[in-house]
Amino acid sequence: MEPAENVSESWEENAEDWIAWTRAPDNDVFYRHFQQPAFARLVPRPGRRTVEIGCGEGRVGRWLAGRGHSVAGIDSSPTLVQSARAAGGYDELICGDAAHLPWEDGSFDAAVAFMVLHDMPVMPQAIRELARVLECGSPLCIAIVHPINRPPEQLADYFTEHRISDEVAQNGLRMNFVGINRPFEDYARELCEAGFVIEALHEPRPDPAAIEAAPALAAATRSPFFLHLRCRLFGQR
């Protein structure tokens, strides 16, 4: 399947498949045994209010709420927002565009963008909007596909954006992952220009217990699959 002209539209097209993929017991072992435990080391303690952009069907928001966060979420897919609302955990959920957040300046003291910035054609605007709705000094925690986690033919042209469409079958389920590969410099530039300072950068690797639980994770000990960042807002330069 070719990606839709708008990557966000593709996630709405694949929303039911994503809900089935992420909620099937122990299907997404990369999230359960690897990504979530690694990302937890970056996420701050609960504060006044946390915003999550690209909240999808809500698994990260539910996890944050379980840790005591008051979470507002936004996603462009009506189907995913409806599913997240039905599952609970959020104090507020909006179907909308991360490039035009509906909240007032300084409404939040933490933000999360988990595995979504590489799905957004409007990544720079989304980062600027996060800077606007965060109060100064607030953290932004990010997870993305590692920029070198690409097919060899795309690494040969690393500095050019590549729209990707990767259909995966597993445990009787199918999911078409659609997004945009970008060099890391693009993310760093937009974060810095929006007033963020990168204070932590992790290339997580699964530990032996994770590999024992899910042997497929072993490949991530040799080559980075994901990149995790914690940034802090200090105001635009």
Cα(226)–Cα(116) distance, rounded to whole angstroms?
12
| SS3 at position 19 | helix
Q: What is the rounded average pLDDT of the residues 197-221?
A: 95
Domain ranges of the chain: 7-233
HEC assignment per residue over 75-115 = ECCHHHHHHHHHHCCCCEEEECCCCCCCCCCCCECEEEEEC
Q: Which CATH superfamily is domain 7-233 in?
A: Vaccinia Virus protein VP39 (3.40.50.150)
Percent of the chain with pLDDT strictly greater than 70: 97
- pLDDT tens digits for 64-108? 999 999 999 999 999 999 999 999 999 999 999 999 999 999 999
**CB neighbours (10 Å) of residue 169?**
8
Q: Which residue has the tokens 């839709």?
A: 4
Residues near 88 by beta carbon (within 8 Å), at least 6 away in sequence: 62, 65
Q: What is the rounded average pLDDT of the residues 47-62?
A: 97
DSSP for residue 232: E
Strand pairing partners for 51?
A: 72, 111
Contact 54, 116 (CB under 8 A): yes
- pLDDT tens digits for 130-161? 999 999 999 999 999 999 998 888 888 999 99
Of residues 106, 118, 17, 113, the one with CA closest to residue 73: 113
Cα(141)–Cα(35) distance, rounded to whole angstroms?
13
